[in-house]
């Protein structure tokens, strides 16, 4: 109890050295059993529940069960005492500093509170002052707002009057210029007035807008009528329009040489009319076809060109509208040819006389194309009115489409008409017309397919008598069919919308599939004679279609269609990411589905031919299989080696079939045929002739002679080393004809090194690469010419 009490007093006076000395002396005199619990009790009084366990662990670590380690207790007590003193000093230091900081913070907070109260007093004073000032100034503000509103109203009136004054000033200027016959300046002033009209479009002053528009319209009509009259007079003097071709006019002298003065007047009037272009576009509502035709947006034709087109438009409407005899709905070629002739007749004049004027005026307009565009609108209007009357007459509608396509081709190729301008293809792309066009194309294509397949020369090549041309041996029906597809492509390739082109592409794919089905039906009728002429012609047709489709797959036009199809499929989410990736990377083509079906048909037909020919050869080789290979005389016993009589039937059969199919199949198909046949023949001879018999020296030599001197040479016309296609037979002959010593050595090597590299090296050394080691051992066992072991 005394010891415990001494220890308990230590924390109360940490700075007293006497208490520390007393504790040390007391602990030194105590035993271990008393010190341990006292230490645990001391620590547990000042810490949480974990501290006793920590102290126990610490004592256990430093002292343990060794009584000799008690000598360390004094050192540990000194260390712990020093640590305690240091900690107490830190606590005292911190305890003395914290109150000072708290006091300083409280002082700062008090000062901030005082400043805040001052600001609040100032804010209250200012608020009351401002409120009083606003009350005093409110009447002044009301009076000032009313005055500002009046000023703004007056400014609006003044601006309104300025606009009216400016319009009247420009109008007076135009009047004065016209009175002095200064038409160029009057036209320039009208351009300025038109620009003002355009600027006023966003204004809400409806009366001012109406006044401006009426003034522009008034002077525009006067100037346009005057300039048009003068311009038409000049054109009349130039014998415009030119109805006959330039050559006939030059020969007949109907187009006199233009004087410089006349051309100068033409240029002046043309430029003045160009100045009226902006006001004319502002006042004149452009004549447009319905939106269903999806014509591209284009600016109006240049005003002077419009005037030059007027007499031709009158002629066109006179001849091809109403009840005139020239307006025959079944003769679209009449008005189409007329328009082409007019474009051709005026091209020289437009290029040589009008285009320089436009270039000098800084205009980007092409005179010839502008003239063609104006005439094209006549054609489009005529087509739009005629097509509804022809939709349900297949012959007339088909004739119209044919003539329109010829017209388009001539227009683009001969006259350079851009594909971005409005054309007849836009009219044909209208929904009802386009669907009818697709239907008619399908109908006539199917009729053409019926006629070509029922023709007497359907399966005969047109170039059968010309060997250089007839490499593909294409039957007439296949060539006619692909020509039909090519013509369809030419007919729709200039359609403006990619979606329409894709619909035609689907039609072509349907036709290819239909033709494939028809070929399959005819093929099934010929399956009893797969080596016959018609069967071979069908196979040539399938191969030709595949070759053409593969060529088309790399064509720029079909690659563009593939890209368009990719965009459509990506929007509709009808394909997987893998398929979209293949299309985007051009790994596949738009004809892949058709190509895979045709490839399957080709391989099936070719396999049937190979099987049939192989059966014939196999049947003819039955006697050869039964040859007495075990008892044939050796080569030294014969004067001259000759072909086995039993081999003649199957070699003759093989030769005849090869010659027959070489004449009837195209080169690539025949290559596939004989290579597949050789593969089967090689395995058959190896398994049924060689492995099924035993051979003496004469039999092995005879087999090698039959193969190397008679069978292999049959194929030497088709490849340089035919023996490489008979690997089993060739290597079997090598094994059977090894001399006895080499055969014995090889046999020993194979038996002693089964499956090891030395065995492979030994086989390669004698020329064996295809046959496995086990096969070679079997072949060696088929030899009978081994030496007698007894001897």
Give me the CATH number covering residue 707. Answer: 1.20.58
If asked whether residues 501 and 554 sit together in one domain, one would say yes
Specify whether 455 is located in the same domain as 414: no
Do residues 698 and 634 touch, judged by C-beta distance below 8 A? yes
Is residue 422 domain-shared with residue 453, that is, in the same domain?
no
**Overall residue count recorded for the chain in this entry:** 791
Rounded distance, CA 230 to CA 81, Å? 126
| Token duo for residue 30 | 């105590």
CA distance 568 to 562: 10
| pLDDT of the residue at 204 | 85
Of 429, 456, 471, the residue that ends a domain is 429
Residues 348 and 411 in one domain: yes
Q: CA 720 to CA 722: how far, in whole Å?
A: 6
Residue 335 lies in a domain: yes
Burial of 222 (0-12, 13-18, 19+ CB in 10 A): middle
Q: Is residue 101 part of a domain?
A: no
Strand-pairing partners, residue 783, are: 695
Rounded to an integer, what distance in angstroms lies between the CA atom of residue 16 and that of residue 10? 9
Domain for residue 196, yes or no? no
Does any domain span residue 6? no
By CB neighbour count within 10 A (0-12 exposed, 13-18 middle, 19+ buried), where does 262 fall?
A: middle
SS3 label, residue 783? strand
Mean pLDDT by 10 residues, the chain (791 residues): 34 38 41 37 47 76 69 79 86 77 86 91 91 89 89 89 91 93 92 90 87 92 94 93 72 60 93 91 83 87 95 94 89 95 94 94 93 95 93 93 96 93 94 95 95 93 71 92 96 93 96 96 94 96 96 92 84 64 68 94 97 96 92 85 93 96 94 96 96 94 95 94 95 94 90 73 91 93 80 43
CA torsion angle 665 668 671 677 (round to 10): -60
Specify whether 529 is located in the same domain as 413.
no
Query: 308: domain range?
Result: 285-429
Q: Where are the beta strands (DSSP E) in 69-208?
A: none
Other CB atoms closer than 10 Å to residue 339's CB: what's the count?
20
Same domain, 586 and 489: yes
Using left for φ > 0, alpha for ψ between -120 and 50, and beta otherwise, residue 491 falls in alpha
CA dihedral angle for residue 135, residue 138, residue 139, residue 142, rounded to 10 degrees:
-160
What are residue 399's DSSP bridge partners? none
Please check whether residue 335 is in contact with residue 313, taking contact to mean a CB–CB distance below 8 angstroms: no
- 233's tokens: 């007079």
Domain contains 168: no
User: Alpha-carbon distance 40 to 45, whole Å?
Assistant: 9
In a domain, residue 123? The reply is: no
Whether 631 and 753 map to the same domain: the answer is: yes
**Structure confidence at residue 580 (pLDDT):** 60
Instruction: Take residue 220 and report the two structure tokens written for it.
Output: 């525009």
Q: Tally Cβ neighbours within 10 Å of residue 371.
A: 24
Phi first, then psi: what are they for 695, rounded to 5°? -130, 130
Domain boundary (429, 455, 487) is at 429
pLDDT value at position 61? Answer: 74
**pLDDT value at residue 342:** 96
Can you give the pLDDT at residue 585?
Answer: 62
Find where tokens 């401006």 sit. Answer: 212
The predicted pLDDT at position 171 comes to 93
Residue 464 counted as domain residue? yes
d(CA 328, CA 59): 125
According to DSSP, the residues that pair with 764 across neighbouring strands are none
Alpha helices in 238-302 (DSSP H): 246-252, 260-275, 277-283
* The dihedral sign for the CA sequence 679, 685, 687, 690: negative
Helix (H, G, I), strand (E, B) or coil at 695: strand
SS3 (DSSP) at 460: coil
| Cβ neighbours, 10 Å, residue 309 | 22
**Residues 6 or more apart in contact with residue 657 via CB below 8 angstroms:** 531, 613, 616, 617
Q: Token pair for residue 650?
A: 């199957």
Query: For position 493, which CATH number holds?
Result: 1.10.357
Q: What span, in angstroms and rounded, lies between the C-alpha atoms of 120 and 132? A: 18
Residues 419 and 474 in one domain: no
How many domains does one find in the chain? 3
Q: Would you state the structure tokens that stand for residue 124, as one six-digit string?
A: 């209250």
Same domain, 351 and 464: no
- Within this chain, do residues 419 and 444 fall inside the same structural domain, yes or no? no
Going 76 to 80 to 81 to 82, the CA torsion angle's sign is: positive
Whether 588 is in a domain gets the answer: yes
Q: Residues 44, 78: contact at Cβ < 8 Å?
A: no
- 671 with 587, same domain: the answer is no
- Buried-state track 563-577, b at ≥16 Cβ within 10 A, e below 16: ebbbeeeeeeeeeee
Tokens of 142: 């009301």
Neighbours of 417 (CB within 10 A): 19
Rg (CA), the chain: 55
* Domain finish residue from 369, 398, 429: 429
Closest CA to 425 of 396, 394, 374, 387: 387
Q: Select from 495, 498, 483, 485 the least CA-distant residue to 428.
A: 495
| Co-location of 638 and 740 in the same domain | yes
CA 608 to chain centre: 39
Please write down the HEC assignment for all residues of 12-40: HCCCCHHHHHHHHHHHHHCCHHHHHHHHH
């Amino acid at each position: 109890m005394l010891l415990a009490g001494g220890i308990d007093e230590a924390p109360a006076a940490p700075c007293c050295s006497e208490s520390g000395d007393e504790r040390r002396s007391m602990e030194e005199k105590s035993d271990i059993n008393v010190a341990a619990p006292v230490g645990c009790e001391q620590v547990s009084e000042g810490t949480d529940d974990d501290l006793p366990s920590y102290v126990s662990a610490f004592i256990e670590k430093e002292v343990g069960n060794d009584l000799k380690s008690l000598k360390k207790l004094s050192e540990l007590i000194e260390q712990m005492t020093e640590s305690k003193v240091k900690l107490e000093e830190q606590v005292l230091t911190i305890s003395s500093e914290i109150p000072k900081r708290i006091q300083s913070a409280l002082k700062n907070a008090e000062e901030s509170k005082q400043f805040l109260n001052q600001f609040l007093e100032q804010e209250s004073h200012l608020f009351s002052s401002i409120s009083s000032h606003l009350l005093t100034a409110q009447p002044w503000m009301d009076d000032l707002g009313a005055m500002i509103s009046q000023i703004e109203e007056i400014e609006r009136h003044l601006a309104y009057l300025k606009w009216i004054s400016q319009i009247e000033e420009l109008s007076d200027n135009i009047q004065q210029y016209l009175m002095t016959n200064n038409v160029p300046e009057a036209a320039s002033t009208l351009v300025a007035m038109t620009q003002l009209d355009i600027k006023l479009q966003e204004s809400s002053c409806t009366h001012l807008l109406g006044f401006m528009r009426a003034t522009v319209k008034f002077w525009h009509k006067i100037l346009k009528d005057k300039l048009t009259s003068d311009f038409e007079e000049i054109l009349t003097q130039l014998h415009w329009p030119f109805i006959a071709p330039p050559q006939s006019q030059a020969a007949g002298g109907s187009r006199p040489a233009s004087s410089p003065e006349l051309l100068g007047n033409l240029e002046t009037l043309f430029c003045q009319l160009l100045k009226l272009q902006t006001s004319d576009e502002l006042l004149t509502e452009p004549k447009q076809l319905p939106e269903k035709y999806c014509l591209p947006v284009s600016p109006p034709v240049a005003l002077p060109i419009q005037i030059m087109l007027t007499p031709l438009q009158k002629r066109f409407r006179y001849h091809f509208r109403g009840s005139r005899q020239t307006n025959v709905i079944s003769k679209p070629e009449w008005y189409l040819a007329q328009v082409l002739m007019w474009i051709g007749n005026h091209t020289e004049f437009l290029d040589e006389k009008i285009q320089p004027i436009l270039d000098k005026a800084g205009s980007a307009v092409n005179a010839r194309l502008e003239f063609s565009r104006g005439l094209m609108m006549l054609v489009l209007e005529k087509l739009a009115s005629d097509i509804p009357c022809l939709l349900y007459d297949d012959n007339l509608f088909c004739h119209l489409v044919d003539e329109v396509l010829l017209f388009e081709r001539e227009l683009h190729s001969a006259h350079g008409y851009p594909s971005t301008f409005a054309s007849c293809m836009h009219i044909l792309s209208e929904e009802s017309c386009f669907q009818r066009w697709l239907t008619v194309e399908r109908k006539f294509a199917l009729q053409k397919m019926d006629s070509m397949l029922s023709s007497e020369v359907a399966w005969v090549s047109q170039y059968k008598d010309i060997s250089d041309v007839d490499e593909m041996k294409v039957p007439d029906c296949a060539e006619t069919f692909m020509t039909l597809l090519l013509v369809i492509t030419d007919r729709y390739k200039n359609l403006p919308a990619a979606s329409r082109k894709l619909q035609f592409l689907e039609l072509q794919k349907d036709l290819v599939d239909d033709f494939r089905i028809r070929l399959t039906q005819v093929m099934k009728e010929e399956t009893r004679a797969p080596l016959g002429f018609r069967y071979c012609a069908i196979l040539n047709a399938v191969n030709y279609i595949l070759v053409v489709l593969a060529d088309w797959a790399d064509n720029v036009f079909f690659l563009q269609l593939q890209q368009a199809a990719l965009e459509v499929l990506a929007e509709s989410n009808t394909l997987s990411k893998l398929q979209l990736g293949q299309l985007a990377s051009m790994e596949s083509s738009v004809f892949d589905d058709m190509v895979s079906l045709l490839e399957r048909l080709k391989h099936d037909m070719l396999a049937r031919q190979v099987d049939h020919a192989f059966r014939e050869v196999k049947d003819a080789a039955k006697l050869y299989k039964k040859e007495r290979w075990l008892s044939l005389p050796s080569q030294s016993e014969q004067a001259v080696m000759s072909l086995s009589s039993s081999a003649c039937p199957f070699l003759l059969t093989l030769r005849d079939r090869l010659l027959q199919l070489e004449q009837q199949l195209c080169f690539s198909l025949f290559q596939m045929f004989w290579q597949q046949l050789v593969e089967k023949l090689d395995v058959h001879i190896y398994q049924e002739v060689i492995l099924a018999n035993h051979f003496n020296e004469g039999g092995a030599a005879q087999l090698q002679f039959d193969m190397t001197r008679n069978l292999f040479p049959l194929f030497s016309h088709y490849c340089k080393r035919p023996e490489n296609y008979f690997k089993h037979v060739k290597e079997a002959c090598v094994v059977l004809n090894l001399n006895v010593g080499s055969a014995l050595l090889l046999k020993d090597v194979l038996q002693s090194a089964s499956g090891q590299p030395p065995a492979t090296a030994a086989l390669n050394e004698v020329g064996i690469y295809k046959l496995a080691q086990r096969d070679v051992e079997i072949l060696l066992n088929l030899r009978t010419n081994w030496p007698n072991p007894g001897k």
